[in-house]
Structure 1
Amino acid sequence: MKNLSKTELLGFMFLLVTFVNSLYFGFTDEMLFNEHYAQEDGLVENETALMLLGVSLLCIYHLFRGWKYKKILWKTGTVIFAVLFFFAAGEEISWGQRIFGITSGDFFVENNAQGETNLHNLVVGDTKINKLIFSQLLMVVMVTYLLIVPLLYRKTRWVKNLADTFAVPIVAWKHTIAFIACTILVSIIPADRKWEVYELAFGILFFLIFLAPFNRHIFEKKENGAPE
């Protein structure tokens, strides 16, 4: 922990406090956990949206900071990440629908499992998009990115070059360890809505990864991405 910046340290402390609270409420008062702590538009969901938005803003910061020095593919990758995380933040809170009291259109009322204005709760036939894409497929992508890609980056030259070219932050081992720990802790929480906490953990971890990745030189002010 001695090599962490103050922002990183605060991020890991936030992750720790999140799980201390989640484990306490999850084991002592499941009703409070499900109906208040991790409910729709509750504390956990709003924190998740803020963390995802934070990643998007961090990408925009990197983009402006490196605009004069970086190549088009680096800029393209950074823009894609900024858009993806902004989209994820909006989806998490149904684009502010409940915050601003906006009524869903007919399409979402009829085709959304919760009648909300978002894509991840859409139902196509008997298939929930959330279960198919945002749960199963996304989990495969996350495990690949958090566990497999870091190994390939360190061992395979073309993977390293591809990641650096498109400004893909590579997970440091501290992030991998935190991901594994979070997975274990979430799995033992008895409350039904424990996966909302898992989403928050992902939001915090991704902010930390984009803040200080293993290949942090990609965010330095150099045309070739080499460390200053």
Structure 2
Amino acid sequence: MKTLTKTDKIAYIFLILVFALGIYYANTDLQFFDEVYTKEDGIVESITAILLLCSSILLISRFFKLQKYKKPLWKIGILAIACVFIFGAGEEISWGQRILNIESSEFFLENNAQAETNLHNLVVDGKKVNKIIFSQLLTAVLVVYLIITPFLYRKYEGIKKLANLFAVPIVQWQHTIAFLIVTGLLVFMGSERKWEVYELAFAAIFFLIFLNPLNKNIYTKQ
């Protein structure tokens, strides 16, 4: 495992503080945890959106810096990942709807669980899209990306070349361990709003992955 950078240390200390406060409030003042600490557009949700946006900005800046040295598939890969995180940031704050005090359209008023302009709270046949796609599917993707892919990348040259070709950043083991730890800490928060804290951890750790992946050479002029 590579030595932690200064940024890694700051980020992990920050996450320790966020989870320590979350566990404390979830067990001593659940109302404060639900209605202040993890409320919609509150501090936790806002930081999550900022971190997701920072990840996309980081990738886009690298695209413009390196695109003339890279092949088309590299460009497609890095822009696709950047778009995913822009989408995540927008969804996190309902595309600024509450901040700008914009009324939802009739479609979202009728089909969104929170009557907001976002996709992850849509209700289809009585089921929230968030639980079907943004929870179950995302969980499967995270398991593959954070646990399985690092093994395959290290063992198979074909997988290594494919990941590098599409500019897919490979996690270091510290990132995997961090995710496993924060996942385990969720059991100490007895509230459905705990997922907001988990999303913040997701955003912070992915920013660290993009900043300093195992295959950092994909962000060079090679």
Residue of structure 1 in register with 2:146 after alignment: 146
What's the CA shift for 1:122? 0.8
CA drift at 1:2: 8.6
User: Structure 1, residues 135-190: CA drift from partner, whole Å, max 9, x if none?
Assistant: 11111111111111111111111111110000000010000110000001112222
Q: Deviations over 1:88-137 (max 9, x none)?
A: 10001000000000000011111111100001111112221111001111
Partner residue of 2:173?
A: 173
- Identify the residue that residue 112 of structure 1 maps to in structure 2: 112
What's 2:133 paired with?
133
Q: Deviations over 1:21-69 (max 9, x none)?
A: 2122122211110110001111111111111101101111211221221
Query: Which stretches of structure 1, 4 residues or more, deviate above 6 A after TM superposition?
Result: none
**In structure 2, what is the equivalent of residue 164 of structure 1?**
164
**Counterparts of 2:22 and 2:189, CA distance in 1:** 8
Unaligned runs of 5+ in 1: 223-228
Alignment partner, residue 122 of structure 2: 122
Give unpaired runs (5+ residues) of structure 2.
none
How high is the sequence identity, in percent, across the aligned residues? 55
| Paired letter, 1:7 | T
Which amino acid letter does the alignment assign opposite residue 74 of structure 2?
Answer: W
In the alignment, which residue of structure 2 is the partner of 1:195? 195
Kept after mapping to 2: 8 A contact 1:27/1:191: no
Asked whether 1:7 is paired with 2:42, we answer no
Asked if the contact 1:52–1:86 (Cα under 8 Å) also holds between the matched residues in 2, the reply is yes
Structure 1 residue 9: deviation in Å? Answer: 2.5
Instruction: Output the TM-score relative to the length of structure 2.
Output: 0.96
Aligned length: 222
Q: TM-score scaled by structure 1?
A: 0.93
